[in-house]
Chains A and B, each alone.
Chain A
């Protein structure tokens, strides 16, 4: 009978998530739910988000109480059709809870990033690889002020069939804070030297914001090495940029100011958690970060405009390019998505500049489909 019973488990949002708090159920017991329905609001130390049902059918049992904090994978609710008895559901819940206790005892720590010594700089890189040899690797490049953790909700699922590298740009995260080049071409040189140190020849690239412009630069410089480019709320596709945000990010040194600044990145400001703001302030206090950010901002966004705009070179580029944008992006205008043909343009509603954090499953799926389409 257990095939007729489907479990709803605590999701794992990002590498660091070990447990989540059930803030609220958004559906009633007995309701018929469909895959993708918003059924729960779950809070982690990093983020609060709605959880979309992975299964469909009548919700027979809410196992998790509102306010309860549970480990990843813990049983939250049970979906089963009318043929299943209450006793069978009781037994299912008991078995699941016992399995949960065992899993907790055998929990493995999340993968840790490594320092890669490249020519001219040291890059912090989180590598996630499938057990079997996979397809062409995928490189993820974050935006201004970000780090590899920006991809924490995307990287694990993308690494199922290929190796995925998420690196910290020079001056960012745990990478060295000394810059060898601060404009888009200079940062692309640094990324290439990191790829050389990693032994990567041909690859797909997905870049967010400034990281998109760098990805595009890599493709324009050496089109034969790049199998596809995914540009997420990307720089490099037009002159406009919200420099108030850039300046705010550099200048904010108090939690309150930083929170207000970072809220501009999201359609829903509730995404900005204490930990997110704290982590950014801690990063900005590291030696060398402020001069590095200043130098990059001055080189990449000189005079309030993007200095590297590649729109007119896209037509002749022999590498597939797609754009993914948050409809409410307040940093780079969503109109910049129009640089690519409509079929390769994805604008997601209810998301801002950090669309890969606000709509992780959509963005992961779009990247996955595109690299599969581009092949290799």
Chain B
């Protein structure tokens, strides 16, 4: 056990799986950097330095710098997965996913179903998401609800470094396509992370705080804010359960429903756009299956339904924060 950043945890997961299984490869734009140039090799290690060092240990055969053509290399990764490799493709920003929707939605997600269950597609697409990076509306979206919508895809959203390593190893060993969402504001967050490889099963929510007055469900970076809110509310004698679903596909509704049966009150915190989001999805399931336990209307804490603003002042205002979660908690307890 030692302290590692979210970035180091992901790098360690990749390195350990590449050592364990020679079929695991990494591909994407500048995942090493310097290909075909006389300059510094492994200059980049991906845009955030997450894959740095891998090319030195595993070579250019298994760490592939690709052209800036998402439609091309995501398609290649899906094909490689269907024919025996276990690629981890780095799509950089999830906002760029639009140019390769067909490869993901109509190919990767469908193979298992359309080939009579005889085909597997063990591809992982790692991608950055979320606001707060001053990168404007084309590099700041969440978009995980869109992938959650598609049957055949699995969607993981780690909320800290420990979760990141275990969920990524699970994703690489999984035989289905997994979209792995990394919040760009979490890369420097540090946590206790075991040195040994480990897996966190998909579809099993993590209850990060246990309380009796209120249930908060949060995703990705929002789990951190929800935990902060719960700790502050605890000082005001308000006892809060915080649930991190970890994966939105598969989704552990049972843990949420069981908690709401106890508390009768629910706040959902989702950084994605508020329409057709995980917030609306969770709220709808709870209303359908636990309506009689609800003591107050459900409150959703989300950004407004607008593109992420470039103005830092507006961007800060856009992102759900601890204070807004606390205000929502108090409003459902009122």
Contacts and interface: CB of A to CB of B under 8 A. Distances in A.
Interface of A: 174, 177, 253-255, 274, 282, 285-287
B201 interface: yes
Interface string B198-228: 1111001001001000000000000000000
Contacts of A287: 196-199
A255 B207 CA distance: 8
23 contacts: A174-B1, A174-B196, A177-B196, A253-B201, A253-B204, A254-B204, A255-B207, A274-B210, A282-B162, A282-B194, A282-B198, A285-B166, A285-B198, A285-B199, A285-B200, A286-B194, A286-B196, A286-B197, A286-B198, A287-B196, A287-B197, A287-B198, A287-B199
Given A274-B210, A286-B194, A287-B196, 17 more contacts: A174-B1, A174-B196, A177-B196, A253-B204, A254-B204, A255-B207, A282-B162, A282-B194, A282-B198, A285-B166, A285-B198, A285-B199, A285-B200, A286-B196, A286-B197, A286-B198, A287-B199
A148 to B, nearest CB: 13
Contacts of A286: 194, 196-198
A274 B210 CA distance: 9
A46 to B, nearest CB: 14
A115 to B, nearest CB: 10
A287 B197 CA distance: 6
Interface string B109-125: 00000000000000000
A255 B201 CA distance: 13
A174 B195 CA distance: 9
Nearest to B252: A254
Main SS at interface, chain B: loop
Contacts of B162: 282
Listed from nearest, the 6 A-B pairs whose CB atoms lie closest are: A285-B198, A287-B197, A286-B198, A286-B196, A285-B199, A255-B207
Interface in B157-180: 162, 166
B247 to A, nearest CB: 15
A340 to B, nearest CB: 38
Nearest to B255: A254
B174 to A, nearest CB: 15
A281 B206 CA distance: 11
B114 to A, nearest CB: 32
A176 to B, nearest CB: 9
A253 B206 CA distance: 11
Interface of B: 1, 162, 166, 194, 196-201, 204, 207, 210
Contacts of A282: 162, 194, 198
A255 B1 CA distance: 20
A130 B186 CA distance: 43
A285 B13 CA distance: 14
A177 to B, nearest CB: 8
Contacts of B207: 255
Nearest to B210: A274
Contacts of B198: 282, 285-287
Contacts of B200: 285
A274 B201 CA distance: 19
A286 B166 CA distance: 9
A126 to B, nearest CB: 13
A290 to B, nearest CB: 10
A287 to B, nearest CB: 4
- Most chain B Cβ neighbours within 10 Å, of A255, A274, A282, A285: A285
A254 B162 CA distance: 17
B243 to A, nearest CB: 11
Contacts of B166: 285
Nearest to B195: A174
A253 B200 CA distance: 10
Contacts of A253: 201, 204
Nearest to A176: B196
A255 B243 CA distance: 12
Nearest to B205: A254
A201 to B, nearest CB: 32
A285 B197 CA distance: 9
Contacts of B201: 253
A255 B205 CA distance: 10
A255 B209 CA distance: 12
A253 B199 CA distance: 12
B169 to A, nearest CB: 8
A282 B165 CA distance: 12
A274 B198 CA distance: 20
Contacts of A254: 204
Nearest to A289: B198
Nearest to A274: B210
Contacts of A255: 207
A287 B199 CA distance: 7
Nearest to B1: A174
A287 B200 CA distance: 11
A40 B197 CA distance: 41
A154 B123 CA distance: 49
A20 B197 CA distance: 32
B77 to A, nearest CB: 25
A45 to B, nearest CB: 12
Contacts of B204: 253-254
A274 B162 CA distance: 16
Nearest to B207: A255
A151 B162 CA distance: 26
A37 to B, nearest CB: 30
Contacts of B1: 174
Contacts of B210: 274
A255 B206 CA distance: 8
A282 B194 CA distance: 9
A92 B199 CA distance: 53
A155 B194 CA distance: 24
- Most chain A Cβ neighbours within 10 Å, of B198, B204, B207: B198
Contacts of B199: 285, 287
A122 to B, nearest CB: 11
A253 B202 CA distance: 12
A32 B121 CA distance: 73
Contacts of A177: 196
Contacts of B197: 286-287
A205 to B, nearest CB: 27
Contacts of A285: 166, 198-200
